[in-house]
Structures are given as structure tokens and as C-alpha cells.
Amino acid sequence: MRRHDRDNMLPFGRRDDELTRVLREEYGAPSDRAYWDSLEARVLARTLARPAAAGAGAAALTDEWWEPFAGWVRAGLVAACAAVLTAAAALAYTRSAEARLAYESVLETPLPLPSQVAASTPGLSAREATLRYVIGP
């Protein structure tokens, strides 16, 4: 399908050439050369203008490119604080999860049998505890 045909389609595949013509006349770019010359002059005048004196009531242009963004400082600080707090919470959670995992891995690791016996019999040496385990019921 050609671009012209696609632009001119209505729902269910019907075309409306009259509507297309009217819309193009209404929203089309002006063909008058004077319009484009005056537009260029206005843009250049606005771009090259110096800021108006304070209190003059006219909207002043800024000298620096970053000055229009000065109003965004508060929102930027709030966003930065939120990002720092989120990162700190994620770091704290990760560290606590790592510590919990390390603790559980130590507790769940079985000790060798003589060490278990020696650890569970207070007051005896490791050798006596092992002997008691071997001879015991």
C-alpha cells in the first residue's frame, strides 16, 4: 500500500478525499515567503536578545544554558536522596543475608564424630570422651 493511500484510509477501508484535502489545507505549512522570513527574524531576535532589566516586567532571557534548570534542583535532590536510601537498604539487606547464610553454614556443618563427643562431654579430654563413646552403649 502506498503512503498516500494509507494516509487517506478511514476505518473499514473507505477513503475520504475531500476530508484529506480540507485537513491538508488547514494544517499545512504556509506557502507565503514573508511568513517564513518573519518567523526567522523573530527567532533570531529572541535568541540574540539580552536579558531585560530587573523589574521591567518583561520575561528575561538567561545568559547561561543551565539557568532554566535551577528550578529542578529540589526535585533532583529528592531523587538523589531516594536513590541513596534505596542503595543503602539493599546493601544492608545483602550483608545481613550473607551473614545469615555464613552462620547457618557453620551450624549445619557436621563435626567429625570424636569432636562431637568431645564437645558434648564437659570436663573430659578429647581422648577420654572418644574412649567413652567407643565403649559406651
Tell me the pTM. 0.33
Do 56 and 77 reside in the same domain of the chain?
A: no
Same domain, 45 and 76: no
Q: Domain range for residue 21? A: 1-61
CA distance 114 to 70: 72
The torsion angles phi and psi of 52, rounded to 5 degrees, stand at: -75, 160
Do residues 40 and 88 both lie within one domain? no
Looking at the 3D structure of the chain, how many domains does it have?
2
> Which among 85, 93, 51 has a CA at the least distance from the CA of 68?
51
| Structure confidence by residue, pLDDT tens digits, 107-122 | 766 655 555 554 566 7
Query: Is 51 in contact with 64 (CB distance < 8 Å)?
Result: no
| pLDDT, tens digit, 9 for 90 and up, residues 53-72 | 444 444 555 567 777 788 88
Q: How far apart are CA 117 and CA 132, in angstroms?
A: 9
Q: Which residues contact 5 (CB under 8 A, 6 or more apart)?
A: 15
Residue 66 lies in a domain: no
94 and 43 in a common domain = no
Is there a single domain that holds both residue 95 and residue 42? no
